[in-house]
Amino acid sequence: MPAPRPRNVFAGPYLDRASVLRRDDAWVAAALADPATRYVPVWQSQSLLRREPEPAAVLLERAALADAGPGEAILLGRYQGTTCFAVEWQAPMPALPPAAEFADLRLAAWLLPHDEAGLLAYARAMVYWRARHRYCGACGAPTRATSAGHVMTCTREGCGTESFPRIDPAIIVLVSDGERALLGRQASWPAGRYSTIAGFVEPGESLEDAVVREVREETAIDVAEVEYHSSQPWPFPSSLMVGFRARAGSTRIACPDGELEDARWFTVADIAGGTPGLPPPQSISFRLIADWYLEACGRRLEDERGARLWSAQR
Ligand SMILES: [Zn+2]
């Protein structure tokens, strides 16, 4: 067995999800009333954190929630021995503890300890999902939260349709021809940035099928072999990125579907020299590129002074 890969950001067993307790109404009520319980607020899809004295997630006591909860709380589980719920904080902007701020987790996650970034990502995903399932998709009646916020149940007698948290699987793949890596860019990205090929899995399709189709649609490259790499929760808003490595069966690039502005083959020297700007370090895309790079030349991409690493300041 090869050595295990490092965990992707937002992934890992950092939390006991306590899923069997979600349907135990008495336990949930006691947990909500317990002053030791903590709440992970989400405000307009932003997460509460502080940058000083060291970056950290900010969890709140019930008393700090005021009108925001906990009636709308969603059980996350037991985090470092503490029961945690997510809660959506409604406008207007709440009064915050000193040094705390709401921030876009996509930009701030790389600052935080791995486990705390994961907890905030989970809370963000649950709040986003629930805010979009307030009405029954089958009959249009209002829903109500059940199972400690993990199910939205239709309130209309005779319907009772249950909606569960939704995840949208997407493949992301580092394609290599043996010497070079295939990277593409969208027109909206910062100038010069390239990334691995990615796209959503469609109904009736396996993950491997999606890899072959997406690479062909976006770059006209035929994929010959597909191998699983790792996965990453990506709650922006609700994706699960499933990462692969693939070997190219052809080398001639085109961008027929227009999703990518450009796609190219990059050598180790190109990447070491800063020709492609690289994706954020917390993304599985960067992990796929860095792992390929290490295998290709024996050096860590993070240590390459000439590489164009992502910068949050841009
Ligand atoms: Zn219904």
Domain ranges of the chain: 19-131, 168-303
> What is the pLDDT of the chain when averaged over all its residues?
92
pLDDT band at 310 (very low <50, low <70, confident <90, very high): confident
Confidence check: pLDDT of 70 > 60: no
Percent of the chain having pLDDT more than 90? Answer: 80
| Helical (H) or strand (E) element with 128 | helix 114-131
pLDDT at 71: 60
Confidence check: pLDDT of 313 > 70: no
Cα(157) to ligand 1 centroid in Å equals: 8
Task: Tell me the fold of 19-131.
Answer: Nucleoside Triphosphate Pyrophosphohydrolase (3.90.79)
Cα(144) to ligand 1 centroid in Å equals: 11
Q: 244 or 66, which is more confident?
A: 244
Amino acid at 287: R
pLDDT at 72: 81
Cα(151) to ligand 1 centroid in Å equals: 13
Across the chain, which distance is largest between two alpha carbons, in Å? Answer: 65
Cα(204) to ligand 1 centroid in Å equals: 26
Cα(72) to ligand 1 centroid in Å equals: 20
Cα(26) to ligand 1 centroid in Å equals: 26
Q: Where are the alpha helices (DSSP H) in 9-113?
A: 25-33, 105-108
Whole-number Å distance between alpha carbons of 205 and 172: 15
Cα(166) to ligand 1 centroid in Å equals: 18
pLDDT band at 67 (very low <50, low <70, confident <90, very high): low
Contacts of 121 (CB under 8 A, 6+ apart): 10, 105, 109, 233, 235
Cα(153) to ligand 1 centroid in Å equals: 8
Cα(133) to ligand 1 centroid in Å equals: 11
Cα(155) to ligand 1 centroid in Å equals: 7
What are the tens digits of pLDDT across the range 1-32?
Answer: 566 677 899 998 999 999 999 999 999 999 99
Is 168-303 a CATH 3.90.79.10 domain?
A: yes
Confidence check: pLDDT of 300 > 80: yes
Cα(156) to ligand 1 centroid in Å equals: 6
Confidence check: pLDDT of 314 > 50: no
Cα(85) to ligand 1 centroid in Å equals: 26
Cα(71) to ligand 1 centroid in Å equals: 22
pLDDT at 1: 55
Fold matches, 19-131 and 168-303: yes
Confidence check: pLDDT of 94 > 60: yes
What are the tens digits of pLDDT across the range 286-299?
Answer: 999 999 999 999 99
Cα(122) to ligand 1 centroid in Å equals: 27
Cα(99) to ligand 1 centroid in Å equals: 44
Q: Mean pLDDT lowest for which of 5-9, 156-160, 164-168, 194-198? A: 5-9
Confidence check: pLDDT of 158 > 50: yes
- The CA-to-CA distance between both ends of the chain, in Å, stands at 40
Confidence check: pLDDT of 163 > 80: yes
pLDDT at 212: 97
Q: 38 or 280, which is more confident?
A: 38
- Number of C-beta neighbours around residue 183 at 10 A: 28
String of DSSP letters for 150-182: TEEEE-STTT--EE----EEEEEEEEE-SS-EE
Cα(158) to ligand 1 centroid in Å equals: 8
pLDDT band at 143 (very low <50, low <70, confident <90, very high): very high
Q: 270 or 12, which is more confident?
A: 270
pLDDT at 107: 84
pLDDT at 69: 54
Asked if 42 contacts 87 with a C-beta cutoff of 8 angstroms, the reply is: yes
Whole-number Å distance between alpha carbons of 219 and 231: 23
pLDDT at 309: 86
